[in-house]
Chains A and B, each alone.
Chain A
Amino acid sequence: MKINLQDLILNIKDIKVGQKILLSGDIYTARDSAHKRVIDILNKGEDLPIDLKNSAIYYCGPTPVKPGEIVGSCGPTTSSRMDVYTTRILKEGVKVLIGKGARSEYVVKSFKKNNAIYLVATGGVGALISKRVKKSELLVFEDLGPEAIYRFEVKDMPLIVAIDSFGNSIFNKICPTFINT
């Protein structure tokens, strides 16, 4: 199903676990260090340099852009490392998180509570995903190198709904006996 980000957020209750979607719209990249910095700013009560309300965050640290290209290789990184930050990030109004791999049980609950969803991309296919990025712009935290926050305009980015806003997780469905550490 092709869908743009704003339609997806407006109709988030219609999005169900296991669905395959081709996402279009503007998304932020942010991984470990950018998350840490965002949380530090929030904890100090200062204003964030980006607007998180009704936004999507892609856990990604791309390769540098070659001259004449739009973006570098840009696949997802492991989401579970961002679990500790996720409840706070969702409270700020982020509605869509994109990464790879399973999430902790308390994070699954946070998605439900905050009416948000988690999408997974195929890991290790950064060259393929780069073809779905139509624009990229470095927004903030340039000093973090690959961990800086970029804005990507994506077109038909291939994703699977891994956790929906009802708190259903694809990973629990596949093998409920796994421990969510």
Chain B
Amino acid sequence: MRKIESSTITNAVKDLCAKSNYNLPDDVLKSVNASIFQELGVSRDIRDILEQIADNAAIAKKEKIPLCQDTGTANFFVKLGKDVYIEDGNIYDAINKGVVLGYVNNYLRKSIVSDPIERKNTMDNTPSNIYIDIISGDKIEITFLPKGGGSENASALKMLTPSVGWEGVKEFTLNVVKDKGRDACPPLIVGVGIGGDFASVGLLSKRTLLREIGSVNKNTFYAKKEQELFSEINKLNIGPMGMGGSPTVFAVFIATKATHIASLPVAVSIQCHSCRRMKISI
């Protein structure tokens, strides 16, 4: 058993909240810059938007100003080694304490209301969403995905019937992007979850947003389908901030899971261009 004090987790989470909101991941920035190059001589308006995104990343990093005012719902994907013993507390409290310190001390926006109807702000951005997988070993790996409300609102889930197959999944995904994509700060990253059940397919689609842009799906069938959706979505003429042209998406990621003989659940998680994610290991 490896003993880890809960304060170690809290402090690590506190730093994670701040750093991830100031630093756009390299793969995302690379996609932005590649798109600026592609748009050269095509559309001045679209290039301006992409250049603003790149300039924003530079300002945010240098001056420690949040990339986006929506510093998001705090989502944590945790791999907890089974040989870890957390002293003086539990992992949920340790992470939430880190969120309070991270968001309050670093002047990040508190975007959580305690009740969806009453809508009173909790003023410390908790509670966060914490998803834990138990793995072997004695380490804790925490991946943080602060996710804005605008892109989250564009996400959707549907229980399809098995007969519609891949074409049904594709049609649904394209419709989600068509209907709501331009309000979700494109260029987007689209996570498609297929299978599982109603409860698990949403998480499946969200978790796949943690993949790096440019990473290839290990399943060759779905690797091809990701490419297919990528090129179809980029033909929708939504473009950066819905101003037309392309790119509409930087990447499409698909994750699948076993499902019931009667079911074909599909969830489409929409991620904005300000795709903040960061991983630490304790």
Which A residues are closer than 8 A to B by beta carbons? 20, 33, 60-66, 72-75, 77-81, 100-102, 120, 122-128, 130-131, 144-147, 158, 160, 170-171, 174-175, 178-179, 181
Contacts and interface: CB of A to CB of B under 8 A. Distances in A.
Given A72-B69, A80-B183, A127-B67, A122 B53 contact: yes
A74 B69 contact: yes
B38 interface: no
A131 B52 CA distance: 12
A146 B111 contact: yes
B199 to A, nearest CB: 26
B59 interface: yes
A167 B256 CA distance: 45
Contacts of B272: 123-124
Contacts of A127: 56, 59-60, 63, 65-67
A162 to B, nearest CB: 9
Given A61-B109, A64-B107, A160-B45, A120 B66 contact: no
A63 B108 contact: yes
A101 B56 contact: no
Contact of B67 (A80, A124, A131, A175): A124
A72 B109 contact: yes
- Which of A75, A130, A179 has the most C-beta atoms of chain B within 10 angstroms of its own C-beta? A75
A73 B68 contact: yes
Interface residues of B, number: 46
A79 to B, nearest CB: 8
A127 B272 CA distance: 16
A126 B69 contact: yes
Given A72-B65, A174-B243, A175-B237, A125 B53 contact: yes
Interface string B91-124: 0000000000000000111110000000101010
B68 A75 contact: yes
Contact of A126 (B68, B149, B179, B236): B68
Contacts, number: 136
Contacts of B111: 61, 146
Give 4 nearest A-B pairs by CB, closest first.
A101-B183, A125-B56, A124-B274, A127-B65
Nearest to A131: B59
Contact of A73 (B66, B119, B179, B184): B66
A109 to B, nearest CB: 19
B178 interface: yes
A21 B45 CA distance: 12
Contacts of B107: 63-66, 72
A72 B66 contact: yes
A102 to B, nearest CB: 6
Interface string B229-242: 00000001111011
Contacts of A147: 121
A74 to B, nearest CB: 5
Given A100-B185, A127-B60, 4 more contacts: A73-B69, A101-B150, A144-B121, A174-B239
5 contacts: A62-B109, A100-B183, A122-B241, A126-B66, A127-B56
Nearest to A62: B69
A77 B65 contact: no
Contacts of B238: 175
A147 B111 CA distance: 9
A49 B41 CA distance: 49
Given A100-B183, A127-B63, A122 B109 contact: no
A100 B68 CA distance: 13
A81 to B, nearest CB: 8
B184 to A, nearest CB: 8
